[in-house]
Amino acid sequence: KKISPPDVARWTAEMSAARVFHELIADTDFNMTNLLITKDWRVWLIDFSRAFRLTKSLREPKNLTRVDRKLLANLRGLTLEGLQQRLGRWVNKPQIEAVLARRDLMVKFFDDEITAKGEATVLYDLARTSEPCGLGLE
């Protein structure tokens, strides 16, 4: 429909976070039909049926332009044990090891970007909400 979001900065921040997440989980089918957008332009990611691939490399590193500070801190804190505990019902150990390998590449990438370009260019603070998941979707 070629409609512009009312808050371009927030939209850009949410889409940057979505791209980081999709690189992390190696989603081979990330596209605009896998997003739900609320009336107030909040982004909800859906359909991860082609994610958690075993590749230990980044698919589209060019999509990693900026990262939310809290997201980067949380990436740094991921562990095999923690992910197995939280995701073990749905994904196996090799898939989790691949997530961690991609995480390592992403953290190094962002650290290098911060060194080269400065924190103000690479890091941002994504506004968060305590609303229940899916609120605002119809």
Are 55 and 98 in contact, with CB atoms under 8 Å apart?
A: yes
Look at residue 82 in the predicted model and tell me its pLDDT: 96
Q: Which whole-number Å values give the CA distances from 112 to 87, 118, 126, in the listed order?
A: 29, 9, 21
137 pLDDT above the threshold of 60 = no
Does 28 score more than 80 pLDDT? Answer: yes
pTM: 0.86
- C-alpha–C-alpha distance, residues 38 and 123, integer Å: 25
pLDDT of residue 30: 79
Strand partners, 45: 35
Q: Which residues have a Cβ under 8 Å from the Cβ of 50 and sit 6 or more positions away?
A: 27, 28, 29
